[in-house]
A and B are shown apart, each in its own frame.
Chain A
């Protein structure tokens, strides 16, 4: 009686869940032994029909170019030659020896560290401030979240003015508080350019972290917080021992997102400085883009893009596992 069931269902519940940070299909749609085989067949047919257009798109515009990326990385393709020569690991060896790659990687590391820590601190601070606010919390959510959903080009344009050496609001503000001597052409000065662009990114990301952490805080068990109040716990120890452990899974998840994003940062740097001045803000992404689309070193750029991905994925997987373990221990959320 169960023959159809065995044939048609690839046992979705048995999918290996630990190898990816994303949950595999869960129990529903599972073969139920009570389902008649006519229904089963009809379901199979509909399933195939419904999923076909999606898979066609995924295969053509994701899987195929991904496979091509692997191919490009092992040949020497300049965009024109139809049969590029196989070069093995040459592209990767060259990457390894290229000082510009290391310089870009250093900028990525700075970006990852500061671009993860600052939004987390700012976002948590804002979330703690708004937590417990009853009236007006929607307004704050809108105000703080808004920068995150703006197109990066618009963000880059505005911050370009703010950082302007003579007409910029930043230098103006520094003058007003008597720190005018610190003023500089923020994006034109190689010492400050990376941090200026990073500051813009932090501005845009903090609101995102804030909204996620705020919604996590709203789920915090307030009775525990009240109990700790009665026990005379100070605000900091309350935060550390009572609140933070409860939002830890979400906290780690946000960390993953901002951290992984730090590897593939491109738009905002490309828009604001294009990697300059003198390579001061060059990150792996802009360097890969420049090689592929400006120098026609297609294979070299692709190999670099692959390396960026391979660098980022372990962090994503690792943090996601950590998060899942914590959430299992914590509250089964």
Chain B
């Protein structure tokens, strides 16, 4: 078990050197982030005349400009209006469906399951163009409802998979004990099984929220009108005038990534778990 406690002194020096290398690499990896924060917090004058100064001045000017003139205040609201309902939809439908696929026999289960699997195999890219015309036909183009439904649908396949695995891992004895106690199938699901996967559902919620918050293509394609523009496409629009105003652009970038940063730092394990399972189980 213990790999190094018995080995010799030089390893300690090695470990110190290793931390030094890792610390330098961390700074290198995080440098673009440092650049955003520094530029966003500099004065407009400083951004223009001293592009290579890091944290050389402090001002909220850029943030204020981005928030008001750059409409980032509206974008933030729209981002929440697009991320929260779609996330709730994904978590609820995936949990219900995941339980059915994991523990309940019903006719057509295999076929239904393969239809869901298809969503993991086929990139959104493949059907995004016909989906545009479908939404237009349904009157859902340029609506929050339409964009939320599409965002949710892109997360459902993974969500169902993710939650199903949690339900599959629960021992049958729990279910059977409840059944012997006279619980109905719904009660078994609602009161016995559901609470046991709450950590999984939480991780899914965080992951899905981030995915939807970061989503660029869905609002780009299906909210072309601009009245519900979220941060991602808002920032892209703002990018058009990049040569003019780097300061407010940095501030807008900071506003866009701030919730991501906060969620990641606060819920590091859940976020990582979500992203890893997204890869491992898909």
Contact = CB atoms under 8 A, between A and B. Distances in A.
Interface of A: 7-12, 15, 20-22, 24-26, 28-31, 39-40, 42-48, 50-51, 53-55, 57-66, 68-69, 71-72, 79, 126, 129-130, 132-133, 136, 138-162, 167, 169, 172, 203, 207-208, 211-212, 215, 222, 225-226, 250, 253-254, 257, 264, 266-267, 271, 285, 288, 292-293, 298, 301-302, 305-306, 308-309, 312-313, 316
9 contacts: A9-B109, A58-B115, A58-B157, A65-B127, A66-B118, A146-B29, A152-B216, A167-B51, A298-B133
Given A140-B26, A146-B29, A157-B242, 10 more contacts: A53-B96, A54-B160, A65-B127, A69-B129, A143-B30, A144-B25, A208-B279, A266-B125, A266-B217, A267-B217
Nearest to A215: B276
B32 A10 contact: no
B10 interface: no
B97 interface: yes
Contact of A12 (B1, B105, B156, B160): B105
B118 A25 contact: no
Contact of B32 (A12, A53, A60, A162): A162
A77 to B, nearest CB: 8
Contact of A79 (B107, B133, B256): B133
Contacts, number: 315
B22 interface: yes
Contacts of B89: 57
B84 interface: no
Contacts of B152: 57
B65 to A, nearest CB: 16
A12 B110 contact: yes
Q: Dominant SS at the A interface?
A: helix
B249 interface: yes
B15 interface: yes
A54 B156 contact: yes
Nearest to A298: B129
Given A152-B216, A160-B239, A25 B110 contact: yes
Interface stretch (B55-63, B66-74, B184-192, B195-203): B184-192
Interface of B: 1, 3-4, 15, 18-19, 21-22, 25-26, 29-33, 35-36, 39, 51-52, 89, 93-94, 96-97, 99-123, 125-134, 149-150, 152-153, 156-157, 160-161, 164, 167-168, 172, 179, 184-186, 189, 210, 213-214, 216-217, 221, 231-233, 235-236, 239, 242, 246, 249-250, 253, 256-257, 260-261, 264-265, 268, 271-272, 275-276, 279-280, 282
Given A12-B109, A58-B156, A309-B126, A50 B29 contact: no
Contacts of A129: 18, 21-22, 25
Contact of A31 (B105, B126, B235): B105
Contacts of A141: 268, 272
